[in-house]
Structure 1
Amino acid sequence: MNWIEAITNYVPCCRQEESDKEVILKFLDKFDDVLTRDNKLAHMTSSAFVVNKKRDKVLMIHHNIYNTWSWTGGHADGEENLLKTSLKELNEETGIKSFRILNENMVSLDILPVFGHMKNGEFISPHLHFNAAYLVEADETEQLISKPDENSGAMWIDVDEIGMRSNEEHMKKIYCKILSKIK
């Protein structure tokens, strides 16, 4: 299934997802460069929400730009397979090689605000990420690495501690939404 069909066929779980899906589809109808960062207003990203076998821990990275613990993920950069993007980012940002995809369909579809920031000496203007998230299981004993240009660490966090580790209120709601889907 192509990425636009995947978004079109996604069944929202709440009003936030219904609204975000509607906005994303309208945007896709008007712009043809949403898979790349060439679109400075909004572009596609993909994340992996990674849980352990017991589902009591989530793998997160300490994001350098936002100075908070967050899920793994990144820009599609032209890749139409958003699941593939999420898995590539998972490996690059944590070193995880062994994982199990729990569902090949999105677990969450969200519009995420990105505030203006400096990256590699360049100012990145505020924009939106149209994010497709996927549910993945990994072994919490596998050795983790960091990706110093993006994060300062990766670790397993108890699901009850996500709210204390993340300082992004809008992301806490998304993490809770996903956790409620897997319980």
Structure 2
Amino acid sequence: MSPTFRPLAIALERYAARYPDEHDVASFRAWLASEAQPFHRETRAGHFTGSAWLVSADGQRVLLMHHRKLQRWLQPGGHADGEADLANVALREAEEETGLTDLEVQPQLFDVDRHVILARGQEPQHWHYDARYVVVARGSEAFAANEESLGLAWRDIADVAADETSDPSLRRMAAKWLAAGRGR
């Protein structure tokens, strides 16, 4: 394994120890071990992405975006574009997609989610191996949507956890957040 990949391998080991019942971890480990360029979107079968569980300073709310292409509410995030530091990718994407500054990324992997992206135009169907990190808004919460979203909204984390219409991975992250006693 490339030394560049080692920090993510360690993060995945620690994550698996905290959440032994989550099945996506095995596929993340296999992908990291088997692909020469797992962080590049040019790897057509799939690639790593980084996302932000972007919470308010008091930990009570999460900032979600109404994703333009996918037409649903999700956390900010995007392609690694060759960068192996997925915590940094999550931070970069949070800043770009929300316009917020004074954000702080927590280094510990918070959630993983492997999901299929359907074929679109010249882009074939492929997998996203999405590593999610907690990002905390330490300054102003006044956001500005970019062209990737139809809107942004702060939502109460307990409401996200209870909302059966929310994306299942959002509900899982909200439940993890609440189970850890954060935001109280």
Q: TM-score, normalised by structure 2?
A: 0.82
Task: For 1:24, give the aligned amino acid.
Answer: F
SS of equivalent residue, structure 2 residue 50: strand
SS of equivalent residue, structure 2 residue 64: strand
Unaligned runs of at least 5 residues, structure 2:
1-5
Contact 2:163 2:171 in 1 (8 A): no
What are the equivalent positions in structure 2 for 1:133-152 lying under 5 Å apart?
133-139=132-138, 141-148=140-147, 150-152=148-150
Contact 1:68 1:166 in 2 (8 A): no
Greater alpha carbon shift after TM alignment, 89-98 vs 5-14: 5-14
Contact 2:50 2:87 in 1 (8 A): yes
Aligned to 2:7: 2
Taking the aligned partners of 1:175 and 1:127, their CA distance within structure 2 comes to 26
Identity %: 25
Taking the aligned partners of 1:157 and 1:137, their CA distance within structure 2 comes to 14
Structure 2 residue 117 is matched with structure 1 residue 111: no
Structure 2 residue 154 is matched with structure 1 residue 156: yes
SS of equivalent residue, structure 2 residue 171: helix
Task: For 2:8, give the aligned amino acid.
Answer: W
What are the equivalent positions in structure 2 for 1:6-155 lying under 5 Å apart?
6-10=11-15, 11-16=17-22, 19-101=23-105, 103-116=106-119, 118=120, 122-139=121-138, 141-148=140-147, 150-155=148-153
Task: For 2:19, give the aligned amino acid.
Answer: C
C-alpha RMSD over aligned residues: 2.4
Distance 1:171 1:59, change over 3 A: closer
Greater alpha carbon shift after TM alignment, 165-174 vs 57-66: 165-174
Q: How many residues align?
A: 175
Unaligned runs of at least 5 residues, structure 1:
none
Greater alpha carbon shift after TM alignment, 134-143 vs 49-58: 134-143
Q: TM-score, normalised by structure 1?
A: 0.82
